[in-house]
Every structure is written in structure tokens, then in C-alpha cells.
Amino acid sequence: MIEVRGVSKRYGRTTAVDGLSFEVLPGRVTGFLGPNGAGKSTTMRLIMGLHHPDSGEINVNGRRFVDSRYPLSEVGAHLEARSVDGARSAFNHLLALAYANGLPRSRVTEMLETVGLAGVGRKRVKGFSLGMAQRLGIAAALLGNPPILLFDEPMNGLDPEGIKWVRDLLKGLAAQGRTIFVSSHLMSEMAITADHIVVIGHGRLIADAPASELVSRQAARSVLVRSPRAPELAEALQRAGAVVNFGQDWSLTVSGMDAARVGEFAAEAGIVLHELSPQEGSLEEAYLELTAAASDYHGVLGG
């Protein structure tokens, strides 16, 4: 379990993380979303003890991670795909990490196989594609068989097959009861990978909820309506405070009012409906709505 409590971090005049609190629980994949510059990487570096917060507290399994002696067997992290010394082979890179952490050589061979790099283990990392570098970073994170794993954008640069591989890997690790915290800007991917979502913007918490709840929250706010008297209905709904958008085929997308209320409204006005369907929300829509609302808020405050 990871606990982030009231954490702030400034770089000069930039506040990268601003009073952030959330928890990452074991047994599920927690997706970490936010626009570029939201503070995701900074938060991950703070959790890893690579940077120190200006205020607040971070606990990993009940204690501060910097106190750990064999970090790789407690927390595995894959933060930057390109941070490896390019002159080394993948094997030697992992071997150095293994030795530094008291892990056997056999673990290196095993991990190269797990991530599909066994055939290129002796090649220099310099020649690796971004996708291969991602796999190597994931191997390094898994090396110590840690119960807690952090991945910063692990799907970047991977082909669809690689993305599916990472997704299955993360889900499998969570199913083993591990704590999995993964940042991504690929909303569609997170929708099918993450069980729980933490969204931040401008270093602040925007949402912390089950992925399904974020989607249904968003879905509940939008209803597709078709009626032979669409313009009249739209006017009435708008007067009642709903936001109405016209589709090209005169369908209406109504938000701010649920389907039942729209139906009752139409009945009261004696307007026939040909369709009344709550919209399937997507995590991407929910995310865009949340982050847009946060930008407006910060825009007003000048933050």
C-alpha cells in the first residue's frame, strides 16, 4: 500500500505537486491520469524517495521508503525507459541491479524471458527501440519480485501487441495481490486496464474513484433523445436548465438531466419521443470533463 498525505513539491517557482493526498491499495491496478505537466512523474519520484517533498508525508507499506535496505524487493519502479547506460547489454544492466540488491543471476535470465528480451539480452541497450527499452525497464522493476510496483507511462512506444502484453502483465500482478500504480495518457488503455483511477491536474487531486464509477458518473449526465418535435423539446429542456446539443440528424444530446426526467418532461409537454437513451460514457470523456473543469477552476484563480 502507498499513502500520499498532503504532499507538496516545488521546483523554483513551479509548484509541481500541491497538497496531494491519495492511497494506492493492493490487489488492483490504480491508473494515474492527468495532462502533461500535471505532476504525475514528480509524484512517482517522490513516492520512490528520489525527491523529497517540501511538505506532507509518503508511506510505502507503513514506512518511509528511503529507510529500505533492499529496495528492489520492496518496490519496483519503471520511471524512465531511456535512463539506462546505453553501452551496457540488457543482461549486464540487470545483473548489476541484481547484485546491488542481493539477488541471484538466475533471476536476470528469468526476467529477460518474462519480458521477451531473452534473444537480445547480450545486445547493447543503445540499439534498443523505445518498446524494447520499456520491456527492459519493466524487467528491472520486476527483478526483486516486489509487492509494490510503479510504472510511468509503460505503454509508450509499444505496438498493439506490446500494449496488450503490458495490460495483461499489470492485471496479472494485481491479481497476485500486488500494489500496482501506473501512469498513462492513454485513457482508452486505462479504461480496460485500471480498476481504480486517480486523476490530478496542476499537482492537485481531481478524482480518486473506481474506474467504473468515473465512467457511470459521466454517463449519467448525458442522454440521447430523438423526437419529431426536437426543436420544441430542446427549448423546453433548456428552459428547465438542461444543456442541449443538436446532432446532425436532429437528435439531441441532453446533459444536466437524467433520462427519467427528460421522459417525464416530454410527457408533461405532450411531446412524442422516438428514442431516449442514457449514453455509454467512456473513461476518456470522463477524464476530459474532469480535467477541463479543473482548468476552468484554476483559470479563474489564475493558478
Using CB under 6 A as the binding rule, whether residue 196 contacts ligand ADP is answered as no
Tell the residue number behind the cell numbers 493526498, with chain if given. Answer: 21
CA distance 220 to 212: 12
Options 8-16, 21-29, 102-110, 139-147: segment touching ligand ADP (CB under 6 A): 8-16
Between 41 and 68, CB nearer to ligand ADP: 41
Least CB distance to ligand ADP at residue 203 (A):
7
Least CB distance to ligand ADP at residue 143 (A):
24
Using CB under 6 A as the binding rule, whether residue 16 contacts ligand ADP is answered as yes
Least CB distance to ligand ADP at residue 52 (A):
13
Least CB distance to ligand ADP at residue 38 (A):
4
- Per DSSP, the residues of 29-52 read EEEEE--TTSSHHHHHHHHTTSS-
Using CB under 6 A as the binding rule, whether residue 14 contacts ligand ADP is answered as yes
CA angle (36, 71, 81) in 5-degree steps: 35
CA angle (156, 281, 260) in 5-degree steps: 170
Which three cell numbers, joined as nine digits, stand for 98? 541484481
Using CB under 6 A as the binding rule, whether residue 31 contacts ligand ADP is answered as no
- DSSP 8-state code for residue 267: H
Asked if 230 and 250 count as a contact pair (C-beta separation under 8 A), the reply is yes
Options 37-45, 91-99, 113-121, 122-130: segment touching ligand ADP (CB under 6 A): 37-45
Figure out which of the listed residues 2, 18, 39, 204 binds ligand ADP, where binding follows CB under 6 A: 39
Which three cell numbers, joined as nine digits, stand for 263? 421522459
Binding mask 111-140 for ligand ADP (x = CB under 6 A): ------------------------------
Between 11 and 70, CB nearer to ligand ADP: 11
Instruction: With CA atoms as reference, report the closest residue to 255 among 294, 229, 286.
Output: 286
- DSSP 8-state code for residue 221: T
Instruction: With CA atoms as reference, report the closest residue to 290 among 282, 300, 280, 278.
Output: 282
Strand-pair partners of 255: 222, 243
Using CB under 6 A as the binding rule, whether residue 37 contacts ligand ADP is answered as yes
Size of the residue set binding ligand ADP (CB under 6 A): 11
Asked if 269 and 234 count as a contact pair (C-beta separation under 8 A), the reply is no
Sign of CA dihedral 98, 182, 208, 54: positive
Between 48 and 223, CB nearer to ligand ADP: 48
By DSSP bridging, strand 204-210 and strand 196-201 are: antiparallel
Options 22-30, 34-42, 132-140, 267-275: segment touching ligand ADP (CB under 6 A): 34-42
Using CB under 6 A as the binding rule, whether residue 246 contacts ligand ADP is answered as no
Figure out which of the listed residues 30, 42, 179, 218 binds ligand ADP, where binding follows CB under 6 A: 42
By DSSP bridging, strand 275-278 and strand 222-226 are: antiparallel
Using CB under 6 A as the binding rule, whether residue 41 contacts ligand ADP is answered as yes
Using CB under 6 A as the binding rule, whether residue 38 contacts ligand ADP is answered as yes
Figure out which of the listed residues 24, 30, 34, 287 binds ligand ADP, where binding follows CB under 6 A: 34
Using CB under 6 A as the binding rule, whether residue 295 contacts ligand ADP is answered as no
Asked if 6 and 55 count as a contact pair (C-beta separation under 8 A), the reply is yes
Least CB distance to ligand ADP at residue 253 (A):
31
Q: Which residues bind ligand ADP (CB under 6 A)?
A: 11, 14, 16, 34, 36-42
